[in-house]
Amino acid sequence: MAVEASTPIELVQQVYSSLPERVAIGRRRLGRGLTLAEKTLINHLDDPESQELERGRSYADFHPDRVAMQDATAQMALLQFMTAGLPQVAVPSTVTTSSRPRPAPTSTCTSPSTSTARSTTS
């Protein structure tokens, strides 16, 4: 099974073209080097020059370039979009599923043969 990239190259180029400038802004504002997570977050800030950057206290506005969802969370989000009648999502989305085999669920319910409920037909 071949897997192809679905992210437009223009989107990737746009994200990486702003990275050096925004990382420099983050280093200048914080007065130190940045972790990979900080570089990623600063690169996606709405306004890296003036938004507050106090760890654990500041609220920030981000512009993600892609949203990754997985398993049931993704299914629920997609169902909500469909129910709302939205024709498309605001940013490209990736849905991943777990490829690990999962153990069979255990059940504490009684089997149908031992159930006390009776069905009737008319």
Per-residue pLDDT of the chain (122 residues; tens, 9 = 90+): 565 667 778 878 888 899 999 999 999 999 999 999 999 999 999 999 999 988 889 898 998 888 888 878 888 888 888 888 888 777 777 777 766 655 555 544 444 443 334 434 44
The full length of the chain comes to: 122
Structure confidence at residue 119 (pLDDT): 39
**Cα–Cα distance for residue pair 50/28, rounded to 1 Å:** 12
* Beta-sheet strands, E only, within 26-113: 67-70, 93-96
What is the per-residue burial (b if ≥16 Cβ within 10 Å, else e) of 13-40? eebeeeeeebbebbeeeeeeebeeebbe
| pLDDT (0 to 100) of residue 89 | 77
Q: What is the pLDDT of residue 4?
A: 65
d(CA 86, CA 94): 17
In terms of pTM, does the model score above 0.85? no
3-state SS assignment for residue 8: coil
Compute the C-alpha angle 120/122/117, nearest 5°.
5
